[in-house]
Chains A and B, each alone.
Chain A
Amino acid sequence: MSFSDSIFWVFATTAVVPAFLILFTRSIVRMAFLLLGSLAGFAGLYLQLNAAFLGFTQVMVYIGGILILFLFGVMLTQRSDIPVREKVGPALAVPGFFAGLLLMAALLFIALQNPWKTHPPVPVTEPDTPVIGIKLLSTYILPFEAVSILLLAAMVGATYIARVQAPGAPDGQAELSDSNAEGRLE
């Protein structure tokens, strides 16, 4: 095994094992930390694939931004312990297990046996950021712009749903609207 191969396995393990462990974790905080490991592993894989910009974006945006926000969200929201019921009996679990196993086998077979179309590695001599910038504003300009509508809609929706509601105010009414602003101040 060459050096870069062993590096690959380190990153791949970091990416996959925590993701797998999430399935068996109950605590949401632990899940978040496991997610951190998984995301970091993927960042490493990007770096190894010479995608430096993508790798660092992954670290900054996902690990630095989203995950930390997520943790804050978990810590700051009221915790009402929702009991997780698992009512999957053997009648469903056993066929489900074997179906899943079969599917995994088929997918592994496909993934390992196919001669995938691959690009030869591109030697990187200078930062690829300008190339990414040009691509984003040319070939991918439409997805780049459309995603802003998606994010705006998601943001508006999130603020709408998470908006603090004045006690007693009917759902969805603007709490600080002119009509009842005074009532709230009392």
Chain B
Amino acid sequence: MHLLNHLQALLTLPVAVTAPGVEQFRDTFYPAIIDSLKYFGPETQVAVAAIAILLLDLVLPIQFSKHLAWAAILGCLAPLSGIGHYYEDSKSLFLGMLVIDPFANFFKAFFLLGSIPVIMLSFVSRKLEGRRMGEYYFILLSSVFGAMLMASSTHFLTLFLSLEILSVCSYILVGYFRTERKGAEAALKYIIYGSIAAAIMGYGFSLWYGMTGSGEISSLARVFWSPEHEIYTERNQQALAALTVTFAFLFVFVGFAYKIAAIPMHFWAPDVYEGAPTVVTAFLSVISKAAGFAILLRFLGGLSSSVSGLAPGDMAVKLWAGVDWRLILIVISILTMTLGNLAALWQTNLKRLMAYSSIAHAGYLLMGLSILGTATRYTGTQTIAFYLVAYLSMNFGAFAVAILVENRLNSSELEDYKGLGRRAPFLAGALTVFIFSLIGVPPTAGFMGKFHLFMGIIDVGGWPYYLLAIAAAMNTALSAYYYLKIARVMYFEKGSSLELIQSSALGRVVVVGMLFLTFYLCFCADSILKTTLNLGMHV
């Protein structure tokens, strides 16, 4: 009877009730939640679109099923108006679980716009032809929903949950060709690595929660950023506190490192990238990675100098044994880019090569993280956001070409790219541009992205940063070798066939769009950088 009474009380809210907590719910929580809902519009729209697609597929005949792509694109475009409307707003939502701020809005728009080429490429992908696509687009949009939550979550509960939404959806997408042995193996590997990374991250959060008694990222970050925090001053054993913070930081980092495929959580990437449907590989390499960086930025940069009270350039708290946390990031960055590039040298499969290349790019992007909280002309958040947009253009471009070639040749082995320069002049030319962009040759987006990352770390100065700059420069040279190998194969090696490769119009549209973006980002870098400069975070 007891429970029933409370239930009744909740259902008839305006009537005065005396149960504990109900008044607070009515007066404080209820209005706050209702108010939050209006800012939650974009996420709601994506979720509704996803479920609508799932239901729509039940009534559509199978030959129309592929046209659900248009509904999915609509589901990605519609929320943009809501994001634009509240772009500058900055407030905490859902009682501290979520936040809306320009940073979150930028990344939400990035995920939504970035999903459109993925959907278009799914539409043209021959391997997905003749299937029911309801589940596919539903899961794709759900993962976008997860990514959007990731960019705006400020509580480790929402963070963990959104990370899991993205991960679980990715597992399914990776194993989407369920009868293909390679795909199934890739999905299983991804699940195992993903669950272990999630478990370690959960352990890290529990350490943090045990120290601060709070699950909000800002309070965790405050410990991390300010040496004056009570957990250091209140305790006699400061070394112990620092050791605990170090472990908590590293454990939580493992969860994010897995998403961005940085060392030491990169092992899954090559197999998963190779085994997954090529469209999904493109999605993982850009959207999933960007989501990982968004949450890393939120986690590390959440308390910028203006918030923590530290002057820019002031060293934040040292970790255990006096190690600066940025030093850890620098080491991880150098290792990640070097290992990614070295392993890529021997690859003979384009998708596997792109997997190692994406590990290397995670290393470059980590450069931007290592300058957080320092006084530089280009802030870490700004350069990372810009680089991610540039990375989107060149990586989606390269994968679009790979998919269009795969449609005809049913292979992504470099062997089969021989003579592509003659068989598909447009695709080969476009791929060459994307390759140059990936190396970082002007006048492409990749050049501008790398240029600003380098500017950032050189501005900070100090030997660790110079070392990082040297390592990154050497890695760029190293990467030129294997990227140019693709161009060499396409232009200078004779293939067995001379038959022209036709590609679909929509696929060409994606390639042209990415080509345009690649050049646009180089010549109009300033306008994008201006946008990414003001990615303020709510605290």
Contacts and interface: CB of A to CB of B under 8 A. Distances in A.
Interface string B46-82: 0100110010000001100000000000000000000
Interface in B23-62: 24-25, 29-30, 33, 36, 47, 50-51, 54, 61-62
B47 A171 contact: no
Given A138-B25, A170-B130, A110 B243 contact: yes
A133 B33 CA distance: 16
Contact of A156 (B54, B130, B235): B54
B113 interface: no
A69 interface: no
B189 interface: no
Interface string A124-168: 001101110111011111110011011011101100110001000
B97 interface: yes
Contact of A157 (B20, B96, B139, B243): B139
B158 interface: yes
A179 B132 CA distance: 13
B16 interface: no
Interface in B169-203: 169, 171-172, 175-180
Contacts, number: 139
B95 interface: yes
A116 B206 CA distance: 11
Grouping DSSP codes into helix (H, G, I), strand (E, B) and loop, the A interface class, with mixed when no group exceeds half, is: helix
Contacts of B180: 171
A109 B62 CA distance: 60
Contacts of A114: 210-211, 240-241, 244
A115 interface: yes
A153 B20 CA distance: 36
Contacts of B2: 126-127, 130
Given A114-B211, A138-B33, A157-B172, A165 B179 contact: yes
A130 to B, nearest CB: 4
Contacts of A81: none
A171 B177 contact: yes
A178 B171 CA distance: 30
Contact of B62 (A146, A154, A156, A177): A177
Contacts of A141: 33, 94-95
A174 B134 CA distance: 11
Contacts of A149: 47, 50, 142, 145-146, 165
Given A134-B21, A153-B142, A160-B172, A174 B244 contact: no
B247 A117 contact: no
Nearest to B213: A117
Interface in B121-151: 130-132, 135, 138-139, 142-143, 145-146, 149
B161 A150 contact: yes
Nearest to B5: A130
A172 B178 contact: yes
Contact of A143 (B24, B29, B157, B172): B157
Contacts of B19: 130
20 contacts: A109-B243, A116-B210, A117-B211, A117-B213, A126-B2, A129-B3, A130-B19, A134-B10, A138-B24, A138-B29, A138-B33, A141-B95, A153-B143, A153-B165, A153-B168, A157-B139, A171-B177, A172-B132, A173-B62, A174-B62
Interface of A: 106-107, 109-110, 113-117, 126-127, 129-131, 133-135, 137-143, 146-147, 149-150, 152-154, 156-157, 160-161, 165, 170-174, 177-179
Interchain residue pairs A-B with the least CB separation, the first 6: A157-B172, A138-B29, A117-B213, A142-B94, A130-B6, A171-B179
